[in-house]
Chains A and B, each alone.
Chain A
Amino acid sequence: MTLRRITTVEDLHAYLHIAMQLEHATIPPYLTALYSMHPTTNADAYRVIRVVAVEEMLHLTLAANLLNAVGGTPDLTAEGFVPTYPAHLPDGETDFEVGTRAFSRDTIETFLKIERPALAEGDGRFVARERSSRALLPGVDAHEDDLHFYSIGEFYAEVGEGLQRLYDEMGDDLFCGDPARQVGAAYYYSGGGAIVEVTDGASAAAAMRVISEQGEGLGGTIYDEEGELAHYYRFQQLLLGRYYQPGDQGGTPTGPPFEVDWEAVYPVKADAQLDDYREPGELRDAVFAYSATYGEFLTRLTEAFSGRPDLLLPAVGDMFRIKELASQIIRNPMPGAAGVNAAPVFRGLAPVEVS
């Protein structure tokens, strides 16, 4: 079986667009679980999820730097960029759905699947499955739409190899992007690791390494080169109630134990859609305002990734505001549904519901 790998710069652009979409797609589920916790409870679990969510934001920015470096144009406002949850991840992972749900054991199980380690190097990274209509992202190749990656780590391995192949072919011409479009440390700080400006082969490799090692791990280790625990194992700590420490093997953490209060959670509506808020009133207004605010935020990020990295500074304030609005919504009951709380909908300025 042959699959078209990355052979042209256009292919690489397409993959990096998907990378941005993929990194973003994990954030609303992580934030919903995070904000569903009761205030001042679950300090450990809150910190674990928050750290992963912030690292996904770093990965999103690194993917934008990579795309800009090779002459692409990031667009977080493109139709379909934000998934309608529940959704499948793009790369063959049709065996589970990702959604915006309350913090629970089941939700963490899903997060483990999102972050699951890669299976194998080489051709084994592709699995053939029937294409789901709910898949988040376009298939790898239009002619062989049933081939997908087993995990996010394997997707990035393909991106890394594609980059290398094109670099071998084209040399420095591959990095034709305007360096002014790179987001550097002046505008990205304390956000889950060091940002890498991508201007050549070495910096591209460094950016790729942060994304794949910090995220899902590749090659069976639980810590990356910087000594950071991969996301899969961070989440696993919540189910096991114990922290990993250096020297541990996957599955058997030996660090300090901690308590998780699975009950101190607002039972938010799973995979809430705008359509769930038909009853006029303040809650409906708040949910629609939230969606619009989120869309404006994605517009601002698009501008920031298009030569205005300075816009990331005020965007930090926007992120705190988004957190406040989401928390207010989550603490309100869903009208007409006993025992269910409201949940924010991450759509955009002109929300379109896909049935």
Chain B
Amino acid sequence: MADDNDVLAAFLTLSATLTGYSQFRLLGTGQAEPYLATTRGAVGDDVLDQLLTTSAAVHDKAADNEEALDRGLRAGILSDDKLGPVARNVIKMWFVGTWYQLPQEWRDAHATREPDVTHVVSPASYTEGLLWPTIGANPPGAKGQGYGTWASPPLIDVP
């Protein structure tokens, strides 16, 4: 996965499966590249490559079978000591825009990298968090709604 576009595509494939949001919606947040860069910075190229390679293999093997995909992800990634915590961090990052420092056991076992600290990825990542469409609300004070619109039903898409 030397090509940047290939890495981004693989990251999006995994992210779409992990979050339940389509790649269109994920790209629509404008956060795919910053989240990929944040993940790479926190865990390093080797772990990232392993995560995405494993994800690609699971997706290939499952084809369009959702049950097989679910099983494969749980077995190959989410219950894996090294990849599981990283995948869970990616999920949290998409939903709330924050990278959480990996568990101490993971850091002791695999890597202690300086960028692996709890931080909001960017001001945009907070407002673009998937949390907001998931609960059917706008991020308070961060995305315009307009005077008096609280008297009307919400205008945002609920997936």
Q: Which residues of A contact B (CB under 8 A)?
A: 38-40, 189, 281-283, 286, 313-314, 316-321, 323-324, 327-329, 331-333
Report the minimal beta-carbon distance from B157 to chain A, rounded to whole angstroms. 9
Q: Which residues of A contact B22 (CB under 8 A)?
A: 282
Interface mask (B103-127 → A, CB under 8 Å = 1, otherwise 0): 0000000000000000000111000
Complex Cα–Cα for A40 and B30 (A): 10
- Please state if B155 and A286 are interface contacts (CB–CB under 8 Å): no
Cβ of B140 < 8 Å from any Cβ of A? no
Report the minimal beta-carbon distance from B93 to chain A, rounded to whole angstroms. 15
Contact (A331, B155) CB under 8 Å given A189-B147, A313-B146, A314-B149: no
Complex Cα–Cα for A329 and B25 (A): 9
Most buried by B among A282, A314, A321, A333: A321
- Total A-B pairs, Cβ < 8 A: 61
Q: Which of B25, B30, B148, B155 contacts A38 (CB 8 A)?
A: B30
Complex Cα–Cα for A38 and B31 (A): 10
Q: Which residues of A contact B148 (CB under 8 A)?
A: 313-314, 316
Per the CB 8 Å criterion, the residue count for chain B at the interface is 22
Contact (A314, B152) CB under 8 Å given A39-B128, A319-B146, A320-B145: yes
30 A-B residue pairs with CB within 8 Å: A39-B31, A39-B122, A39-B124, A189-B147, A281-B24, A282-B24, A282-B25, A283-B24, A286-B24, A314-B146, A314-B152, A316-B146, A316-B148, A316-B149, A317-B146, A318-B155, A320-B144, A320-B155, A321-B155, A323-B144, A324-B156, A327-B28, A327-B30, A328-B25, A328-B27, A329-B28, A331-B27, A331-B28, A331-B30, A332-B27
Complex Cα–Cα for A321 and B155 (A): 7
Identify 17 new A-B residue pairs, CB closer than 8 A, beyond the known A323-B144, A324-B143, A328-B29.
A39-B30, A39-B124, A40-B122, A282-B22, A282-B25, A314-B152, A316-B147, A317-B146, A319-B146, A320-B143, A321-B155, A324-B156, A328-B25, A331-B27, A331-B28, A331-B30, A332-B24
Report the minimal beta-carbon distance from A214 to chain B, rounded to whole angstroms. 23
